[in-house]
Amino acid sequence: MAKLTKTEVLKLAKQYKLRSIRLQFTDIMGIIKNVAIPVEDLERALDGKVMFDGSSIEGFVRIEESDMYLMPDPDTFVVFPWSPPEGGEARLICDVYNPDGTPFEGCPRSTLKRIIAEAADMGYVMNAGPEAEFFLFLKDEKGNPTTQTHDQGGYFDMPPIDMGEEARREMVDALEKMNFKVESSHHEVAPGQHEIDFMYADALKTADNIATFRIVVKSIALKHNLHATFMPKPIFGINGSGMHTNMSLFKDGKNIFFDPKAPDQLSQECLYYIGGTLKHVRGFTLITNPLVNSYKRLVPGYEAPVNIAWSMRNRSPLVRIPAVRGEATRVELRSPDPSCNPYLALGVMLKAGLDGIKNKIKPGAPVNKNVYEMTDEERAKEGILALPGTLKEAIDCFRQDKLMQEALGKHITNQLIDAKLTERYLYHACVHEWEKERYLAVF
């Protein structure tokens, strides 16, 4: 499909009789920010002349170097489907630039583009397809979110047990109007938990789609007086929300992970890509699972992968190779959660896989046993390590992985470590409800 140009965007803005444009960008933590401009300023924005104060954005720049510029990607132009027929709004996703016209090293989208360019130099295009889960919760009388689910549905349940179907259908409708190709939607395992899967795309498009997806889900949930959350583990005792990510590499239009003559029809490049993923996954878990709460999901007993192994026959290891072959051959990484910054997460996953191919890192034999049911001794005998179990351990693993720091660059690496050390300190310094319930009446 041909990419939109500046001229076409200006034409579409007139055609839809838009009132304003939201220029969106992402901070280091993956939070969407935006600057709204009147449609009359759209041409100036498309020329990269809209400035903002970068010192106000966490992890961007210091106060004395605060001027930053937004460079919209015309191909990300889309009209919000909830806009009125006239006087509506559209959005453009932007890269962040320095005043001298160079890409800002703290821009997550530019970081991903840099790693994509590295893959292109090797002849590869990464395609990725996420499976993002989320919860729908009721709100209290003041409009604040609760952790009370609005149904007791389970996996693939239907109405009236699944009470989120109407909201979910509206989310799918909105996504399709924003040019998503939605493949499926359903109730997930936990009460109030849902999943919407959309078709794979190249890495940059997928990251943009994930960022947009989160906005759409939250916006439509509000219309139904519900709160949507991508928090990995909002309720103790039930499954958390993951974002399994399917990855493949294409070269000259062909999926290079597929080799009809190889054992299991997996190419050597595919095996090396798995090897790089397994080698660096402890180092990049801080990026794919960035919150204190992320490690409440990565515990045994709730289907989330905690053991570093790969398989073609079961879903318990960290990396799974779905049974389908041909152009759909892919590697599924099951550890990421939907709170991650999609640009940085896809960037480190791609960087790790490329390192596997460059250095011919073998993944070892697939583990076709149920890893969940193996004893510690059995896992040790198989050489199966575990993912970091806490945010602190993830920080330490990231600090030890120079390639993952290289992937993010010095600025993002330093800002991320500082922010996550602060988050860990605040969490440990806080007095939690569990402590009050456990100790207040006893001591």
Amino acid symbol at 204: L
Q: Which of 244, 280, 297, 330 is catalytic?
A: 244
Q: Which of 19, 186, 313, 315 is catalytic?
A: 315
**3-state secondary structure labels for all residues of the chain:** CCCCCHHHHHHHHHHCCCCEEEEEEECCCCCEEEEEEEHHHHHHHHCCCEEEEHHHCCCCCCHHHCEEEEEECHHHCEECCCCCCCCCEEEEEEEEECCCCCECCCCHHHHHHHHHHHHHHCCCEEEEEEEEEEEEEEECCCCCEEEEECCCCCCCCCCCCCCCHHHHHHHHHHHHHCCCCEEEEEECCCCCEEEEEECCEEHHHHHHHHHHHHHHHHHHHHHCCEEEECCCCCCCCCCCCCEEEEEEEEECCEECCECCCCHHHECHHHHHHHHHHHHHHHHHHHHHCCCCCHHHHCCCCCCCCCEECEECCCCCCCEECCCCCHHHCCEEECCCCCCCCHHHHHHHHHHHHHHHHHCCCCCCCCCCCCHHHCCHHHHHHHCCEECCCCHHHHHHHHHHCHHHHHHHHHHHHHHHHHHHHHHHHHHHHCCCHHHHHHHCCCC
Q: Which of 53, 166, 183, 264 is catalytic?
A: 53
Distance of alpha carbon 398 from alpha carbon 381, whole angstroms: 26
Answer yes or no: 133 catalytic: yes
Answer yes or no: 157 catalytic: no
Distance of alpha carbon 73 from alpha carbon 209, whole angstroms: 14
Answer yes or no: 131 catalytic: yes
Q: Which of 131, 157, 170, 208 is catalytic?
A: 131
Q: What are the tokens at 46?
A: 């498309």
Q: Which of 334, 337, 355, 401 is catalytic?
A: 334
Answer yes or no: 315 catalytic: yes
Phi, psi angle pair for 53, to nearest 5°? -90, 100
Omega within 30 of 0 (cis) for the link into 336: no
Answer yes or no: 187 catalytic: no
Q: Which of 332, 382, 393, 396 is catalytic?
A: 332
Answer yes or no: 227 catalytic: no
Q: Which of 188, 208, 259, 337 is catalytic?
A: 188
243: β partners: 132
Q: Which of 75, 133, 269, 355 is catalytic?
A: 133
Q: Which of 75, 195, 259, 401 is catalytic?
A: 195
Answer yes or no: 195 catalytic: yes
The catalytic residues are 53, 131, 133, 188, 195, 244, 315, 332, 334
